[in-house]
Amino acid sequence: MINQTIEQLLSHYSVRAFKDKALTESEIRLLVESAQAASTSNFVQAYSIIGVSDKKIRRELAQIAGGMDYVETTGQFFVFTADLNRNKSIAESKGANPASLDTTEKWLVAVIDAALAAQNMAIAAESLGLGICYIGGIRNNIKQVSDLLEIPDHAMPLFGLTIGYPEQNSAPKPRMPYELVYHENRYQQKEEGLYQAYDETISKYYTDRTGGVRSETWTEQIAKGMEHATRLDMKDFIESKKLGLK
Amino acid sequence: MINQTIEQLLSHYSVRAFKDKALTESEIRLLVESAQAASTSNFVQAYSIIGVSDKKIRRELAQIAGGMDYVETTGQFFVFTADLNRNKSIAESKGANPASLDTTEKWLVAVIDAALAAQNMAIAAESLGLGICYIGGIRNNIKQVSDLLEIPDHAMPLFGLTIGYPEQNSAPKPRMPYELVYHENRYQQKEEGLYQAYDETISKYYTDRTGGVRSETWTEQIAKGMEHATRLDMKDFIESKKLGLK
């Protein structure tokens, strides 16, 4: 049943080393059009894609993301942006009152629209032999990123997507077992014992890849990650953009 | 440059008529595993997928979504769920304090994780010749859906995804021009004139498909859609699930 497309999906890994070679305009256009082909809620197409080729802006974004040099040297750096500003402008040009503009529902639609489009772009890129990596790190200073990219009210940057010619081969990182992510008919609280084999898999994965420097299990990683509340400016930032106010 | 995968992405359309034939267990497993292969922020895998085979639950979901019969007769109905409950349980079992649990940042991570996974599933399904349709309509009564599927605190249903054997052929709905969605280096306010040709395309698309019953332009559709604030329970619902509180 597995075909070439599914084989590609299952072979995904993030790439964090790229040749310093820009994507061509036609590559960028094909990637953006592939992104646009994704489903969009009620056809609102409530996102924008900002392609950052300017190395100076890239450098600033790389620093914000935590010193990720490959944001600077990748083929193209895309910032996926939830965008209700476009629809607001359209509504106003028609004399309509955009009453839904600041609702949490519309904001959620824009976030989901943007993410579906991004994943289409990621898959299109990988089908062309390019490597990809999502960069949530732009949310380390979301206001600075928003200002840098001159993103207006009613819109906000969500994450970056680096796409370029890979200088690295890797292998997929094993995901949690199907039984843990899938629920039949109703949400089931999963038994702790189900994590044990997976924890061993992940511990071995890190041990093998780091020569023993890292060896934590998945549940250890999760527990640690949950302890630190980060990016606590997010709620205020979203509201400052007049999104999700009601 | 266009290959088979990109051709598939560009050929996407939503299917709203399905054979009443359930997906097999192995099809469901392959779809879920394809979903899981998508990128996940910091490897948190912060989503669950609830597969609804129970026709009684399906009927209720179909009604909530606005009388969408095909939710009942599709091959399988998946509800994508932002899920921090799993990670909370893991943290607590390790004696860790999940201080980040109720942050907007972590909730956003879970929403984006779920959406990326869903789009992988949609693409895997279409590569198998199956049809798909996202069902945002489950948010018409988000609390009822959450209760029906027994979704716990720190988790919430986001949207449905119907996947099944199509009884309908269609063609992609034209997306807005590349120039409108793509911005170079900085967000640019796009000129209104850029919408004109696209408006004509969409008006013709509706006219042709409905024999003239519908003929609105895209900007007319958007302006109208922005006027009505809907699902105004969303913000309170999210907070009631103890998500995005700070």
Say whether A101 and B226 touch across the interface (CB within 8 A).
Answer: yes
Say whether B86 and A190 touch across the interface (CB within 8 A).
Answer: yes
**Does the pLDDT at position B168 exceed 90?**
no
In terms of Cα–Cα distance, which of A64, A113, A106, A66 is closest to A238? A106
d(CA A192, CA B146): 23
Query: Does one domain contain both B41 and B128?
Result: yes
Report DSSP letters for A43-69, one per residue: G---EEEEEE--HHHHHHHHHHTTS-T
Answer yes or no: is A178 within a domain.
no
Answer yes or no: is B232 within a domain.
no
Answer yes or no: is B242 within a domain.
no
Candidate from B96, B112, B218 with C-beta closest to A224:
B96
Answer yes or no: is A218 within a domain.
no
Candidate from B44, B152, B230 with C-beta closest to A105:
B230
Query: Does one domain contain both B130 and B201?
Result: no
Q: What are the pLDDT digits (tens) for A159-182? A: 999 999 999 889 999 999 999 999
Q: What are the pLDDT digits (tens) for B188-209? A: 999 888 899 999 999 999 999 9
Answer yes or no: is B142 within a domain.
yes
**CA-based Rg of chain A, rounded to a whole angstrom?**
20
Which of B15, B58, B182, B245 has the most A C-beta neighbours within 10 Å, making it the best mutation to test the interface with A?
B182
Q: How are beta strands B131-135 and B155-164 bridged, if at all? A: antiparallel
Across A117-139, average pLDDT: 98
Residues of B with Cβ-Cβ distance to A187 under 8 angstroms: 48, 50, 81, 149-152, 155
Report the mean per-residue pLDDT for chain A: 96
d(CA A134, CA A160): 6
Work out the minimum CA distance from A220 to partner chain B, whole angstroms: 8
Candidate from B40, B150, B230 with C-beta closest to A186:
B150
d(CA A77, CA A202): 30
Say whether B5 and A127 touch across the interface (CB within 8 A).
Answer: yes
Report DSSP letters for chain B, one per residue: ---HHHHHHHT------B-S-PPPHHHHHHHHHHHHTS--GGG---EEEEEE--HHHHHHHHHHTTS-THHHHSSEEEEEEEE-HHHHHHHHHTT---TTTT-HHHHHHHHHHHHHHHHHHHHHHHHTT-EEEEEGGGGGGHHHHHHHTT--TTEEEEEEEEEE-BS----PPPPPPHHHHEEESS--PPPGGGHHHHHHHHHHHHHHHHTTS----HHHHHHHHHH----TTHHHHHHHTT-S--
Structure-block tokens of residue B89: 């349980």
Query: Does one domain contain both B89 and B166?
Result: yes
In terms of Cα–Cα distance, which of B14, B83, B135, B22 is closest to B241? B83
Q: What are the pLDDT digits (tens) for B80-90? A: 999 999 999 99
Phi, psi (rounded to 5 degrees) for A156: -155, 145
In terms of Cα–Cα distance, which of B67, B70, B35, B72 is closest to B53? B72
How far is C-alpha A70 from the chain's CA centre?
Answer: 16
Query: Does one domain contain both B218 and B130?
Result: no
d(CA B98, CA A224): 8
Query: Does one domain contain both B148 and B186?
Result: no
Across A208-235, average pLDDT: 96
Interface predicted TM-score (ipTM) of this complex, two decimals: 0.98
Residues of B with Cβ-Cβ distance to A76 under 8 angstroms: none
Query: Does one domain contain both B53 and B166?
Result: yes
Query: Does one domain contain both B21 and B113?
Result: yes
d(CA B27, CA A2): 10
Query: Does one domain contain both B37 and B126?
Result: yes
Q: Residue A102's domain is classified under what CATH number?
A: 3.40.109.10
Answer yes or no: is A158 within a domain.
yes
Answer yes or no: is A180 within a domain.
no
Answer yes or no: is B113 within a domain.
yes
Across A114-126, average pLDDT: 98
Query: Does one domain contain both B110 and B202?
Result: no
Which of A3, A11, A52, A90 has the most B C-beta neighbours within 10 Å, making it the best mutation to test the interface with B?
A90
Report the mean per-residue pLDDT for chain B: 96
What pLDDT, on a 0 to 100 scale, did the predictor assign at position A192? 84
**Does the pLDDT at position B108 exceed 90?**
yes
Across A79-96, average pLDDT: 97
Query: Does one domain contain both B151 and B201?
Result: no
**Does the pLDDT at position A1 exceed 90?**
no
Number of domains in chain B: 2
How far is C-alpha A43 from the chain's CA centre?
Answer: 21
d(CA B202, CA B208): 10
Work out the minimum CA distance from A134 to partner chain B, whole angstroms: 7
Query: Does one domain contain both B149 and B27?
Result: yes
What pLDDT, on a 0 to 100 scale, did the predictor assign at position A43? 96
In terms of Cα–Cα distance, which of A107, A108, A113 is closest to A84? A107
> Around A128, how many Cα atoms within 13 Å sit in the side-chain half-sphere?
25
**Does the pLDDT at position B48 exceed 90?**
yes
Q: Which of B135, B153, B170 finishes a domain?
A: B170
Say whether A108 and B103 touch across the interface (CB within 8 A).
Answer: no
Residues of A with Cβ-Cβ distance to B58 under 8 angstroms: none
What pLDDT, on a 0 to 100 scale, did the predictor assign at position A168? 86
Say whether A91 and B158 touch across the interface (CB within 8 A).
Answer: no
Query: Does one domain contain both B185 and B161?
Result: no
Residue B120 belongs to domain spanning = 4-170
CB proximity list for B78: less than 8 A, separation 6 or greater: B31, B49, B50, B51, B52, B118, B121, B160, B161, B162, B163
Which of A119, A139, A147, A214 has the most B C-beta neighbours within 10 Å, making it the best mutation to test the interface with B?
A119
Structure-block tokens of residue B37: 């292969």
